């Protein structure tokens, strides 16, 4: 069971990081009143460009930088359309995702099958030696920095004047405008910051999680990140908790395979009904579908209290503002 737990913890963190990053980016964007459904697309572009640059330059850090910049670029394009040209936010986000699905596949065709060294684990002395839980402290430097960044952003959003301004714009753009703030500029900023985090999440997937590129490598993580924001009712702390939960579900498959022996052991020693249920639950297809089914179920659970959602959602979310 030890091997099972250790590999499970390791893969949960790997799977949770892109979710935390992209989810935090979308949370900030939505807090300013902009609904960006292009997260999956910005992540794909971040993943392919960071992989390309890391492969070409030999430096994973340059790769990360490229991923972040490309994420910002596509977010800026999105912001220009919805903030400046007042296009429908849902349709524009979908268009962005469809466009980048094709573009990333086209740009990445040469990189399929290649691999990068990416980031190496940097164990924290003493803490990493603790059995099982020590796995938490054997992450890459990028992961530690990302965690620090997310914690900082969560603090920034609620404890600084600029964070307050961003939230005010999302709650009531007219009031923010009336007291002299530039709504358009704030929405641009929030959307581009969201894009940077999505790009970083993409870089994390191609340089840390898989150390490879393939078409559609993000596999819906961007969409789950959008769902996570609702799940968290727009609160950063709940977002982090949610990401860990979804990370757990995404990594069940990997972990079960890695520790297949121990599951077989349970199957052999349990009653036939229980082993039937367990057999179904550990079926590869069921495990693959688990994070998506869980997203749907949890979304229903969270959304059932409509008042709570209305109270927590930024009041101007998804609505254009013609300043």
Partner 1 sequence: MGLSFKLTPRDVPSVKMQVLVPIMVTALTLLSGLAVFVAIGVDVGDAFTAYFIEPLSTLNGVAEWLLKALPLCLIALGLAVAYRANVWNIGAEGQLVMGGVFATSTMVLLQGTVHSGVLAVIMVFAGVLGGMLWAGLAAWMRTRFNANEILTTLMLVYVAQSVLQYVLVGSAASTAVLQDPNGAGFPQSATFPLEATLPLLASWMTLFEGTRLHVGIFLLFLIVPAFWVLMNKSFIGYQMRVAGLAPAAANYAGFSGKRLVWLVMLISGAMAGLAGALELVGPVGQLQDSWRPGYGFTAIIVAFLGRLNPIGIVLASLLMALLMLGGEALQLAMSLPKSVSSLFQGLLLIFLLGADVLVNYRVSKK
Is residue 109 classed exposed, middle or buried when 0-12, 13-18 and 19+ CB atoms within 10 A define those classes? exposed
Rounded Cα distance between 70 and 201, Å, is 12
CB of residue 195 vs partner 1: minimum separation in angstroms? 15
Question: Segment contacting partner 1 (CB under 8 A): 45-53, 79-87, 167-175, 200-208?
Answer: 79-87
Q: Which of 27, 11, 10 is nearest to 150 (CA)?
A: 27
Question: Segment contacting partner 1 (CB under 8 A): 21-29, 82-90, 146-154, 202-210?
Answer: 82-90
- 262 is a contact residue toward partner 1 (CB under 8 A): no
Is residue 85 classed exposed, middle or buried when 0-12, 13-18 and 19+ CB atoms within 10 A define those classes? exposed
* Cβ proximity of 21 and 198 under 8 Å: yes
CB of residue 142 vs partner 1: minimum separation in angstroms? 27
Nearer to partner 1, 111 or 119 (CB): 111
CB of residue 104 vs partner 1: minimum separation in angstroms? 8
Nearer to partner 1, 38 or 170 (CB): 38
- 215 is a contact residue toward partner 1 (CB under 8 A): yes
Rounded Cα distance between 300 and 192, Å, is 30
Which 8-state DSSP code applies to residue 265? H
Rounded Cα distance between 68 and 192, Å, is 10
The SS3 of residue 212 is strand
- 101 is a contact residue toward partner 1 (CB under 8 A): yes
* Interacting residues with partner 1 between 137 and 176 (CB under 8 A): none
Provide the phi-psi class of 270: left if phi over 0, else alpha when psi is between -120 and 50, else beta. Answer: beta
The correct pick among 105, 122, 149, 258 for binding partner 1 (CB under 8 A) is 105
CB of residue 297 vs partner 1: minimum separation in angstroms? 9
- 293 is a contact residue toward partner 1 (CB under 8 A): yes
Phi, psi of 54 (to 5 degrees): -65, -40
By rule CB under 8 A, what string of x and - marks binding of each residue 171-200 to partner 1? Answer: -------------xx--x------------
State the Cα angle at 287 between 284 and 292, rounded to 5°.
Answer: 135
* Cβ proximity of 220 and 101 under 8 Å: no
- 56 is a contact residue toward partner 1 (CB under 8 A): no
CB of residue 110 vs partner 1: minimum separation in angstroms? 9
* Interacting residues with partner 1 between 21 and 50 (CB under 8 A): 37
Nearer to partner 1, 145 or 281 (CB): 281
The first and second tokens of residue 30, run together, are: 């939505």
Nearer to partner 1, 108 or 118 (CB): 108
Nearer to partner 1, 119 or 213 (CB): 213
- 100 is a contact residue toward partner 1 (CB under 8 A): yes
- The DSSP line for 102-138 is HHHHHHHGGGTT-B-----B-PPTTGGGSTTGGGGG-
The correct pick among 73, 103, 122, 128 for binding partner 1 (CB under 8 A) is 103
Q: Which of 120, 122, 107, 125 is nearest to 44 (CA)?
A: 107
Handedness of CA 12, 241, 149, 226 (dihedral sign): positive
CB of residue 99 vs partner 1: minimum separation in angstroms? 2
| Residues forming the site for partner 1 (CB under 8 A) | 37, 77, 81, 84-88, 90-92, 94-103, 105-107, 109, 184-185, 188, 215, 220, 223-224, 226-227, 230, 276, 279-280, 282-286, 288-289, 292-293, 295-296, 299-301, 303-304, 306, 309, 322
């Amino acid at each position: 069971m030890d091997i099972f737990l250790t590999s499970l913890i390791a893969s949960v963190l790997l799977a949770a990081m892109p979710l935390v990053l992209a989810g935090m980016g979308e949370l900030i964007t939505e807090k300013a009143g902009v609904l960006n459904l292009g997260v999956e697309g910005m992540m794909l572009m971040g993943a392919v460009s960071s992989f390309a640059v890391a492969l070409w330059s030999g430096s994973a850090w340059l790769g990360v930088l490229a991923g972040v910049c490309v994420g910002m670029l596509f977010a800026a394009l999105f912001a220009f359309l919805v903030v400046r040209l007042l296009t429908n936010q849902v349709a524009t986000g979908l268009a962005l995702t469809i466009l980048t699905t094709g573009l990333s596949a086209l740009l990445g065709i040469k990189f399929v099958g290649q691999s990068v060294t990416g980031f190496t684990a940097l164990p924290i002395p003493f803490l990493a030696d603790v059995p099982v839980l020590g796995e938490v402290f054997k992450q890459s430097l990028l992961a530690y920095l990302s965690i620090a960044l997310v914690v900082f952003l969560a603090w920034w959003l609620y404890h600084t004047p600029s964070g307050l301004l961003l939230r005010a714009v999302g709650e009531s753009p007219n009031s923010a405008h009336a007291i002299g703030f530039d709504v358009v500029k704030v929405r641009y900023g929030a959307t581009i910051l969201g894009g940077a985090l999505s790009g970083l999440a993409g870089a994390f997937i191609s340089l840390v999680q898989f150390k490879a590129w393939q078409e559609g490598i993000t596999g819906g993580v961007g969409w789950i990140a959008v769902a996570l924001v609702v799940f968290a009712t727009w609160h950063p702390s709940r977002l982090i908790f949610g990401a860990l939960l979804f990370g757990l579900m995404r990594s069940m498959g990997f972990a079960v395979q890695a520790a297949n022996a121990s599951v077989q052991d349970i199957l052999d020693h349990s009653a036939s009904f229980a082993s039937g249920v367990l057999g179904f639950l550990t079926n590869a297809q069921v495990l693959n579908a688990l994070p998506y089914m869980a997203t749907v179920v949890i979304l229903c659970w969270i959304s059932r209290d409509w008042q709570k959602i209305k109270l927590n959602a930024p009041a101007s979310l998804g609505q254009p503002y013609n300043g």
